[in-house]
Each structure stands twice: as structure tokens, then as C-alpha cells.
């Protein structure tokens, strides 16, 4: 299971929040973490995200992989940033990462992919006159969210298989099956999209072809 998202069923106020306003809040929140430079404010943002997990009643089995990933990421980035920028700047960078990834993960845990796709399609509907295809954008976003979880799940299962074979520290034992399974997933996804008419021709070409057949 991916540490960064995929819907966790629940009935909390965050689960019932509309997908569109929730997505807008996540984008504004992430942008604010980039603009803010005070470690105190960023620490408060991290506490706000943590309280969101509590309010949403996300079980520990879903929170623990995220915490473990964030700890490893923060330790690595903190060491590098401390060396080049000093302790205060390093702390600011790490707090920004924790806050942004935390709120994004919380959003995908409490929001169904189909609700997110519908919200994007409704939001982009007025742009249809300018050539924007809301349905296509919505599907791409939905596939991206699902792909992140799928690839993380593949990585986890491959890592567990390598550990079971006693090859925990072997890069080859992880990389080769991960690449093979990722390519297989990409091939299956491409076939599914092709079956739905994606990627064969440009939508404008299909429209023009229809006009030629029916003058």
C-alpha cells in the first residue's frame, strides 16, 4: 500500500468535504508552505496536518508507512541542507516537505479518486470553449493519483520478496523485478486507454473525420 494516499473509507467531516474545495485548500496550503519562512509557522502547519489525520480517524496502519517514509526523507534532506545552508534553513526546508506531503497524503486518503475527477471536470468545464478537454484532464489526474499508489505498492511487494529471499541489500534483486512489473503495469494501462479510444488520433482529427463522412 502506498504511504502517499489512496482512499481510506470513513465518515469524518474531512471525508464528507467536497473534493473541489478540498483540492483548492491543499493547493493554497502547499503554496503557503513555500512562501512562509518562519520555522514556527511551518511547525504549526505540520501540527495542523497531524490534527487532520486525527480528525479523519486514519488508522495507524495507514499512518505508519507515511511517517517512516517522511522520517527517512527528512533525515537525508536535513543532513544535506544543514551542510550547505545551515541548521535554520535546513529545518525550514524539512518542515515544508513534511507539511506539503502530509496534507497531500491526507487529501488522497479522505477523497475518492472519482470524486476528484468529477470536481476537476466541473471546474474546467468553462474552459471547454478554449479547447480544454475537462474529461481528459480529470482522467489524467485520476490516473496519476492511482499510479503513485500502484507503483509504491509494487515497490513494497518487490522489497518484501527480496527480503524473503535473503537479498535485502541487493540492488539488482529489487531493481529488475520492479522495472519488469512497472513496465507490465504501464503496458496494461496503455491497453486499457487504447480500448477506450485514447491515444489513437487527436480528438480534432476524429471530429474532422466525422464531418467528412457526414457532409
Cell numbers representing residue 205 in the block: 482529427
Please name which of 2, 192, 16 lies closest in space to residue 115, comparing C-alpha atoms.
16
Give the integer Cα–Cα distance in Å for 205 and 190. Answer: 20
What is the structure's pLDDT at 53? Answer: 93
Is 139 in contact with 82 (CB distance < 8 Å)?
no
SS3 38: coil
Over the chain (215 residues), the average pLDDT of each successive run of 10 is 66 90 88 89 93 91 78 79 82 88 86 82 80 75 67 73 77 80 79 65 46 42
pLDDT of residue 176: 82
Among residues 7, 5, 10, 21, the alpha carbon closest in space to that of 111 is found at 7
pLDDT in tens, 180-202: 888 887 787 777 667 666 655 45
Amino acid at each position: 500500500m502506498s504511504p502517499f494516499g489512496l482512499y481510506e473509507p470513513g465518515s469524518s467531516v474531512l471525508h464528507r468535504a467536497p473534493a473541489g474545495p478540498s483540492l483548492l485548500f491543499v493547493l493554497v496550503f502547499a503554496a503557503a508552505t513555500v512562501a512562509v519562512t518562519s520555522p514556527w509557522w511551518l511547525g504549526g502547519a505540520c501540527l495542523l496536518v497531524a490534527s487532520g489525520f486525527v480528525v479523519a480517524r486514519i488508522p495507524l496502519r495507514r499512518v505508519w508507512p507515511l511517517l517512516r517514509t517522511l522520517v527517512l526523507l527528512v533525515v537525508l534532506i536535513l543532513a544535506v541542507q544543514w551542510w550547505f545552508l545551515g541548521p535554520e534553513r535546513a529545518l525550514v526546508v524539512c518542515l515544508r516537505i513534511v507539511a506539503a506531503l502530509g496534507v497531500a497524503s491526507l487529501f488522497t486518503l479522505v477523497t475518492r479518486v472519482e470524486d476528484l475527477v468529477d470536481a476537476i471536470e466541473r471546474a474546467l468545464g468553462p474552459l471547454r470553449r478554449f479547447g480544454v478537454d475537462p474529461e481528459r484532464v480529470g482522467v489524467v489526474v485520476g490516473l496519476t493519483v492511482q499510479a503513485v499508489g500502484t507503483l509504491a505498492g509494487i515497490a513494497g511487494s518487490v522489497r518484501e520478496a527480496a527480503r524473503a529471499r535473503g537479498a535485502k541489500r541487493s540492488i539488482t534483486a529489487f531493481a529488475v523485478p520492479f522495472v519488469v512489473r512497472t513496465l507490465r503495469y504501464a503496458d496494461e494501462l496503455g491497453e486499457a486507454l487504447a480500448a477506450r479510444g485514447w491515444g489513437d488520433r487527436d480528438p480534432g482529427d476524429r471530429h474532422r473525420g466525422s464531418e467528412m463522412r457526414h457532409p
